[in-house]
């Protein structure tokens, strides 16, 4: 009887407690996994179901919307109005796709091309094709790597993937001062132009490294090459990626200046920047402008790599505080902070920081004449319009990277680029 009554207690009171505990533990487990999946979708926001789940959905929607607009047939854009711009930005913040759809109106016009636009179009179809074939660096001063070749050739563990005219050469040369960094001097262009040559060809380009040394290369065009992220990921999913970014307007002028130095006959920057200047229709298909839409390019990389594997260097700070930027890059690469302010001096004639002791020489050296060129004077109204054009994309880029590069503060100081 006693046994019976204790069994009855078991079946009436204890199971309720057990049931409660069981339900509680199930709920906690469910909550835990929900939080984990949410966290993962934040870390790798472009996983397959990214568009449909998680906090970044609206940002993705925003990108989709913007990308569709960007690559739509005419690829010409009027500027944002102040209201459109601020709404677009707050949309990213608020994750309100509907509001964004309503307010970010990219107006395409069918206006007949003006003479200057026709000239620009002719340039686009010829010169830009050729431009694509060119190396972004024309440095004849680039030396053959002449330090000792003991050790083993390895595929790179870190790559400077962009951006063109961001300051990539200055960064690589400063990194090469570090005893634990070995880098190939020229741009291999493996993942965009030479991929069919195979990984053995690529590896063979690399300098030999000793145990503990990092192999590096830089090819700034990777950042805007659609298939580069997938290819790099299939080579090394744990690779570290460095991106030097610079105000996209200054970057575009720098890019144009480089092309102009080789083809003085090309139309003016002002002509190339617009499909129709009177209507304020910016030509976002012009590569000099397209490269600067960093947020859209970054989105492609984020489908393959988490942000923790990327490091963004400010091209502006690399000039005013090279040692400060180098400290962060060395930390990111897991290197001892060996390259410090002791390694740089400001060369007044060059107008840029230079290395006191480059990797292969004991005499101070500045970068060559293709780095730090004098830019042509650009109509300040065009600069202002381009700053407005880039602003929403810059805001998205700041959100994605968690870094504010403060390019909007430079609107007035853009005349610096004229250096007249
Ligand atoms: N220390 C130092 N010396 C000279 N130039 C410097 C330096 N640091 C950054 N910069 C800026 O680098 C710009 C060229 O960028 P990149 O090296 O990425 O160009 S390239 O894509 O490899 O052609 C180059 O752009 P321009 O000034 O337009 O020529 C420089 O502004």
Dmax (CA) for the chain in angstroms is 108
Distance 170 CA to ligand 1 centre (A): 6
Between the alpha carbon of residue 270 and those of residues 116, 265, 376, 417, the distances in Å are 10, 14, 11, 14
- Identify the pLDDT of residue 362: 80
The number of the ligand 1 atom at minimal distance from the alpha carbon of 375 is 28
Output the ligand 1 site: residues, CB below 6 A.
136-137, 164-170, 220, 254, 257, 318-319, 352-353, 367, 371-373
The number of the ligand 1 atom at minimal distance from the alpha carbon of 137 is 23
- Identify the pLDDT of residue 66: 57
Query: Helix count (H) and strand count (E) of the chain?
Result: 16, 12
Q: Residue 197: what are its φ and ψ, rounded to 5°?
A: -75, -15
- Quick one: DSSP state of residue 356? S
Between the alpha carbon of residue 344 and those of residues 242, 316, 325, 357, the distances in Å are 21, 16, 12, 8
Distance 135 CA to ligand 1 centre (A): 14
Choose, from 165, 240, 275, 391, the residue flagged as catalytic. 165
Residue nearest to atom 30 of ligand 1 (CA): 372
Distance 256 CA to ligand 1 centre (A): 13
Q: Which of 164, 169, 166, 390 is nearest to 296 (CA)?
A: 390
Mutate to test the pocket of ligand 1, among 371, 414, 416 (most ligand atoms within 8 A of CB): 371
> Are the beta carbons of 226 and 175 closer than 8 angstroms?
no
Q: Is 324 annotated as a binding residue?
A: no
Q: Is 166 annotated as a binding residue?
A: yes
The number of the ligand 1 atom at minimal distance from the alpha carbon of 164 is 21
Does pTM surpass 0.90? no
- Identify the pLDDT of residue 75: 41
Distance 266 CA to ligand 1 centre (A): 22
Enumerate the H helices of 237-369 as residue ranges.
248-262, 269-272, 287-290, 294-302, 315-320, 322-332
Residue nearest to atom 20 of ligand 1 (CA): 165
Enumerate the H helices of 279-416 as residue ranges.
287-290, 294-302, 315-320, 322-332, 380-401
The reply to whether 165 belongs to the active site is: yes
Distance 368 CA to ligand 1 centre (A): 9
Q: Is 136 annotated as a binding residue?
A: no
Tens-binned pLDDT, residue by residue, of the chain (420 aa): 333 344 444 445 556 776 677 667 666 655 654 444 333 333 323 222 222 223 332 334 355 555 555 554 334 444 444 444 443 333 333 333 332 232 222 222 222 233 444 444 444 433 333 333 333 333 433 433 444 568 999 999 999 999 999 999 999 999 999 999 999 999 999 999 999 999 999 999 999 999 999 999 999 999 999 999 999 999 999 999 999 999 999 999 999 999 999 999 999 999 999 999 999 999 999 999 999 999 999 999 999 999 999 999 999 999 999 999 999 999 999 999 999 999 999 999 999 999 998 877 788 999 999 999 999 999 999 999 999 999 999 999 999 999 999 999 865 454 444 444
State the Cα–Cα distance between residues 397 and 381, nearest whole angstrom.
24
State the Cα–Cα distance between residues 27 and 17, nearest whole angstrom.
15
State the Cα–Cα distance between residues 344 and 357, nearest whole angstrom.
8
Q: Angle at Cα 221 formed by Cα 152 and Cα 352, nearest 5°? A: 85
- Identify the pLDDT of residue 32: 53
């Amino acid at each position: 009887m006693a046994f019976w009554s204790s069994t009855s207690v078991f079946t009436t009171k204890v199971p309720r407690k057990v049931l409660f505990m069981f339900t509680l533990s199930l709920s906690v487990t469910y909550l835990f996994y929900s939080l984990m999946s949410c966290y993962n979708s934040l870390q790798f926001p472009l996983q397959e179901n990214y568009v449909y789940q998680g906090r970044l959905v609206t940002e993705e929607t925003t990108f989709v919307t913007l990308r569709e607009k960007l690559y739509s047939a005419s690829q010409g854009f009027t500027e944002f109005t102040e209201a459109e711009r601020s709404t677009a930005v707050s949309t990213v913040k608020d994750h309100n796709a509907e509001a964004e759809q309503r307010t970010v109106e990219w107006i395409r016009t069918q206006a007949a091309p003006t003479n200057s636009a026709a000239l620009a179009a002719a340039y686009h179809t010829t010169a830009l094709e050729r431009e694509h074939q060119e190396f972004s660096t024309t440095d004849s001063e680039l030396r053959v790597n002449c330090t000792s070749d003991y050790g083993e050739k390895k595929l790179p563990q870190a790559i400077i993937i962009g951006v063109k005219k961001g300051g990539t050469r200055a960064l690589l040369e400063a990194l090469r001062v570090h005893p634990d960094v070995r880098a190939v001097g020229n741009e291999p262009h493996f993942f965009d132009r030479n991929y069919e040559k195979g990984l053995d060809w690529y590896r063979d380009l690399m300098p030999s490294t000793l145990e503990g040394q990092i192999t590096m290369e830089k090819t700034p065009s990777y950042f805007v090459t659609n298939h580069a992220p997938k290819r790099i990921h299939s080579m090394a999913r744990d690779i570290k990626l460095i991106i030097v970014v610079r105000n996209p307007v200054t970057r575009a002028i720098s890019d144009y200046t480089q092309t102009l130095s080789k083809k003085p006959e090309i139309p003016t920057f002002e002509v190339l920047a617009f499909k129709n200047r009177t209507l304020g229709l910016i030509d976002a298909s012009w590569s000099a402008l397209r490269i600067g839409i960093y947020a859209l390019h970054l989105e492609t990389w984020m489908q393959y790599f988490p942000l923790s594997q990327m490091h963004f260097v400010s091209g502006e700070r690399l000039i005013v505080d090279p040692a400060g930027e180098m400290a962060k890059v060395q930390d990111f690469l897991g290197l001892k902070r060996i390259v410090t302010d002791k390694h740089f001096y400001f060369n007044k004639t060059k107008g840029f920081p230079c290395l006191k002791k480059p990797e292969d020489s004991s005499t101070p050296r500045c970068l060559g004449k293709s780095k730090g060129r004098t830019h042509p004077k650009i109509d300040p109204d065009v600069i202002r319009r381009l700053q407005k054009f880039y602003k929403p994309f810059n805001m998205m880029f700041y959100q994605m990277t968690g870094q504010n590069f403060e390019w909007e503060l430079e609107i007035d100081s853009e005349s610096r680029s004229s250096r007249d």
